Amino acid sequence: METFTTLTAVAAPYCHADVDTDELIPHRFLRKPLSAGYGNFLFRDKRYAAGDREDAGFVLNQPPYRRAQILVAGRNFGCGSTREGAVYALRDFGIRCVIAPSFADIFSGNCVQNGVLPVVLPEPGIAALCTLLERQPGSQVTIDLALQTVRYPDGTSRGFEIEPSRKAQLLEGLDEIGITLKYAAAIARFENHYRTQLPWLAPAKTA
């Protein structure tokens, strides 16, 4: 998993509340392999009108935001089903950070497992940021995970909270398996000691 330390990137304003995972990636695309490019399916029913024609009014189809790496959203982002494919779609599109007043718990955890930083800011702060981004399309926002700050396009900064374990995961670029493997040597020592104490539990040798 790619590390997340600091990010300065174009931020796209999509300040709608209760954006659910089926909006992020409609369920009909979840049968496809990841090699199909899940970023193509992000907000599929919003980004495209009938057929494959882009909706020019949708924020991620507008030239200033096509390469956005930060999405600014409304409260309860990622609600609905627990599908991890919603985060795959964000990450494959290029989104590394979502800023919102609140997230669905499972969605937030899925973000961290896939290198996407979920940042919680108070709703008034989100509204102010969206206003700035709408007035200045293509403006950049800076996220500093170590300092836990968001710097707005006007130069003001806001602090945010994050669980220490999640912060460490992102800074080190480790999912839960990677965290476990950090203790591989200690696990091996325990297993070897355990086998000496209970040798009858060792697997039988085959001829």
Provide the pLDDT for residue 205: 66
Pairing of strands 70-73, 6-14: parallel
Amino acid symbol at 184: A
Domains defined along the chain, listed by start: 6-173 (3.20.19.10)
Q: What are phi and psi of 184, to 5 degrees?
A: -60, -40
Cβ atoms within 10 Å, residue 32? 14
Q: pLDDT tens for residues 138-191? A: 999 999 999 999 999 999 999 999 999 999 999 999 877 777 777 778 888 888
Provide the pLDDT for residue 179: 74
Provide the pLDDT for residue 107: 97
- For the entire predicted model, the pTM comes to 0.87
Provide the pLDDT for residue 185: 81
Sheet holding 149-151, edge to edge: 117-120, 97-100, 70-73, 6-14, 140-144, 149-151, 157-159
Sign of CA dihedral 156, 63, 77, 41: negative
Provide the pLDDT for residue 204: 64
Provide the pLDDT for residue 168: 94
Q: What are phi and psi of 40, to 5 degrees?
A: -70, -20
Provide the pLDDT for residue 181: 75
Provide the pLDDT for residue 199: 80
Looking at the DSSP assignment, which residues form a beta bridge with residue 140? 10
Low-confidence stretches of the chain (pLDDT < 50) are: none
Cα distances from 174 to residues 23, 92, 109, in angstroms, run 28, 18, 13
